[in-house]
Structure 1
Amino acid sequence: MGGVETHCENLYPLLKKLRRNDSFTIIGRKAYLPDRLSEYQGIRIVSLAHARGRHFETITNAVYGVLYARFVVHAQLLHLHGIGPALISPIAKLLGMRIIVTYHSKNYEHRKWNWFGKCALRVGELCSIQFGDEIIAVSRSLAMDLKRRFPQAANKIHFIPNGADHLLRPTTELCDVPDILSKYDLVKGRYIVTVGRLVPEKGFHDLIQAFKAADVDYKLVIVGDSERRDRYSSSLLAEASNSIVFTGVLKGDALQSILQGASLFVLPSYNEGLPIAALEAAVAGTPVLLSDIQPNRDLGLRPENYFKVGDVGQLRHRLTQDHATYKVARDAVLQDYNWANVCAQTDKVYSSVHF
């Protein structure tokens, strides 16, 4: 599960409690939602079809979704997550819906897209600006960049970050999580962890290279998977060994246990929106080491918590240092990045869109 999914999972149940007279329906892709209809904490979840292949999957599902929203749900407000789905905002506008777009990441910078996909995503960015009634950016630098490039839309661009306190809430996903470390043959305090999709922009290839060169007495644990098996994810999984462990996707108590038991969390990414995984690690009390891309620096950590993106040599050196050096102020993270505040700010945006 990626950052957008985590964002929606934590935001909408709180919004529903705050806006009791409104009904909420989340529309997703059939490939990831096996049940045609389901419910989660008062939120109706609908799974719709889509074309196969990464270049058409999102856009076809978004087209079906906007038609379903208008003619089945009779929605008055459509909240789109990401600049890919924002491509269909002109259709939604023609059908009479108000539109909010949450801009999570500059997806056109991701390496997986060819020139056509990148062009389409840039058009989606323009559509979000042109047709969105309000736009939410999850990082401060992203909001500032959008206001700089689109000054005519500055008054409708809002910075609302992701939250980080969801791992503190009790979950029921796994009851046997005390065994999660033994399941992967891990010892508390003797492994380094990273979390994310197995895609090039996460930079896990750099981390594996730096870890192997550092030759430290730790294991490296990579939590996450890819949407589909491709050359890149296969090359990462081929590195699995006694000292490099792939767990697949973990959530809730299992993820919290893995993070709390780690000596260090590393995020070597080349591209982010606002890194929920890094926030989760900070809340878990785990020392944090991040690449120095702007969205990571938006978290406002100390200089020693960052290394130059793509610099394997510097990362190798940082892995050999005392990991306690990278401790962060957990309470400050909880104060700045909590879902109650995110919900309250989002509610204000909803209220400003008269629907």
Structure 2
Amino acid sequence: MPRIAVVGLRGMTNVIGGIETHCRNLYPALASKRPDFDITIYQRNAYHHENASLPPNLTVRPIWAPKRRAAEAFLHTLFAILAASLNVRPRILHIHAIGPGLWTPLARLLGMRVIVTIHARDYDRPKWSWPIAAGLKLGENLSCRFANAVVCVSQAGLQDISARYPRHTARFHAIPHGLDPPLDPDGAGAGVFDELGVQPGRYLLAVGRFDRTKRFHDLVCARQALRKEAMPLVIVGSGVGDHEVFTDLVDDGVVLAGSRFGDELVQLYRNASLFIHPSQMEGFGLVVLEALNTGIPIALSDLPQHREFGLADHCYFKVGDIAAISKIMAHQHHAAFRPALSPSALMQFTHAGMVEKYEQLIEEIGFDEENRP
């Protein structure tokens, strides 16, 4: 049974974040589709929760790491790779993100074939000091040079690294995130509206980690400029190191909903008057795909990654343009921002398509004689 080890995520259960959501969507489905794959996911001990619903060939193992923002991912990945080498001896190591990608050469030296998924240019995040940003850039460099395959989660990301690492483009791939429309919760989770004090169909919604690059502060400023003229703004998410940035967000008409999952999150998406995402940088924009799959009106910052969703021009606004955001919030008919995408346009973002592409890549890297390290 081919062995695959996975590193780079914080946790598989009830952890908000693009990488974590991606892993929850990918690995259980991949394990179910391919019972001949033996998949072991190494997550950080602080985020470990038992999950009895996983396929029998998918194991989640907690590994200790220090709870320090700059060192946690770096050291956890090292410990996980060493543990995998000693205990699991995987044929393939799947690394998520460029910080953990620093250890790509070590994994190759230990005989593993490595896939690195680059989720974003993390060194562009303003929270990092220049030494940490330099380390993240080095992680990207080592990933692109030494991995057997590098996966970008958007075409914009693929074009970016292809332009900067032209000697290695033969090993670069684009596999966008994939989701299926959520099942109708049929009333389950509807208590969240009373809990938050909002009415279905009468609130604006933003979802994501409390990170400076998400620019939720732009939404708050835009809503404050409208005063009572705008609907309540519900922000779903939690902070990972940057929570202090949003301590001033609690205001009349701004509701910090915390982390929400499952039926509650589906209810919040489906009943929003408008989903708005003002981010200044994205690797893909997984929360946008979640919103698309519920069919609600959407407004996005004008990023190349967001343009890949193919919305109408009026659904985009310039990053940081608070006046434009206010105008969208105050629009009398948010239905004008409802995406009019054909089924074929959404086919590139299906869950089954994402799983199949990773399955093919694993077979190519793990079983092709020409790709042996």
TM over 0.5, shorter chain: yes
Change beyond 3 A, Cα 1:343–1:266: same
User: Where do 1:134-173 residues align within 5 Å?
Assistant: 134-165=149-180, 168-169=182-183
Alignment match, 1:241? 251
1:218 pairs with 2:231: yes
Q: Name the residue aligned to 1:312.
A: 322
* Distance verdict in 2 for CA 1:211–1:332, change over 3 Å: farther
Query: Which residue in the other structure is 2:297 paired with?
Result: 287
- Shift of residue 336, structure 1, vs aligned partner: 2.4
Aligned pair in 2 of structure 1 residues 34, 175: CA closer, same or farther (>3 Å)?
farther
What is the CA–CA distance in structure 2 between the aligned matches of 1:189 and 1:223, rounded to whole Å? Answer: 16
**4+ aligned runs moved over 6 Å, structure 1:** none
Aligned residue in 1 for 2:288: 278
> Which whole-Å deviations, capped at 9, do the CAs of 1:123-151 have from their partners, x for residues lacking one?
00011111110111001111011112111
**Aligned equivalents of 1:169 and 1:217: distance in 2?**
30
Q: Distance in 1 between matches of 2:249 and 2:173?
A: 41
SS at match of 1:353: helix
Greater shift in the superposed pair: 84-93 or 237-246: 237-246
Question: How far 1:39 sits from its partner (Å)?
Answer: 6.7
Q: Work out which of the residue numbers 225, 229, 253 in structure 1 matches 2:263.
A: 253
- Normalized against structure 2, the TM-score is what? 0.89
The equivalences for 1:66-81 within 5 A come to: 66-81=81-96
The residue aligned with 2:13 is none
Mapped partners of 1:177, 1:39: distance in 2: 20
What SS does the corresponding residue of 2:366 show, helix, strand or coil? coil
CA distance 1:227–1:287, shift in 2 (3 Å): same
Match of 1:199 in 2: 211
Alignment of 1:1-355 (within 5 A): 1-34=16-49, 40-42=54-56, 43-165=58-180, 168-169=182-183, 176-215=188-227, 216-228=229-241, 230=242, 233-321=243-331, 322-329=333-340, 331-332=343-344, 334-355=346-367
Query: 2:254 is aligned with what amino acid?
Result: I
Amino acid at match of 1:276: L
Offset at 1:176? 4.5
Q: CA deviation at 1:240?
A: 1.5
Structure 1 stretch displaced more, 196-205 or 320-329: 320-329
Contact 1:193 1:264 in 2 (8 A): yes
Check conservation: 2:212, 2:245, Cα contact below 8 A: no
Identity score, percent: 33
Letter in 2 for 1:348: Q
Secondary structure of the structure 1 residue equivalent to 2:95: strand
Once residues 255 and 143 of structure 2 are traced to their aligned partners in structure 1, the CA distance between those partners, rounded to angstroms, is: 40
Which stretches in structure 1 are left out of the alignment for 5+ residues? none
Conserved 8 A contact 2:91-2:366: no
Listed one character per residue, the Cα deviations across residues 58-113 of structure 1 (whole Å, up to 9, x for unaligned) are 00000001011111111111000111110111110110000001111000111111
Give the superposition deviation at 1:170: 7.2
Q: Which moved more, 1:119-128 or 1:182-191?
A: 182-191
Is residue 92–residue 366 contact of structure 2 (8 Å, CA) maintained in 1? Answer: no
Indicate the residue corresponding to 2:4 in structure 1.
none
Which amino acid counterpart does residue 79 of structure 2 have in structure 1?
Y
Task: Decide which moves more: 143-152 or 201-210.
Answer: 143-152
Equivalent pair of 2:230/2:330 in contact (CA under 8 Å)? no
| Alpha carbons of structure 1 residues 40 and 17: separation in structure 2 relative to 1, 3 Å | closer
RMSD of the alignment, in Å?
1.9
When normalised by structure 1's length, the TM-score is: 0.93
Return 239-248 or 135-144, whichever deviates more.
Answer: 239-248
Structure 2 letter corresponding to 1:278: V
Looking at structure 2, the residues matched to 234 and 59 of structure 1 have their Cα atoms a distance apart, in angstroms, of 23
Q: Distance in 2 between matches of 1:220 and 1:354?
A: 47
Q: In the aligned structure 2, how far is the partner of 1:305 from the partner of 1:65?
A: 43
* Contact 2:277 2:288 (8 Å CA) reproduced: yes
Structure 2: distance between partners of 1:3 and 1:333: 22
Q: Residue 20 of structure 1: CA displacement?
A: 1.5
Supply the distance in 1 between the matched residues of 2:161 and 2:184 (Cα, whole angstroms): 37
Task: Count how many residue pairs are aligned between Structure 1 and Structure 2.
Answer: 348
Give CA-to-partner distance per residue, 1:336-355, whole Å, 9 cap, x none. Answer: 21110001111111111135
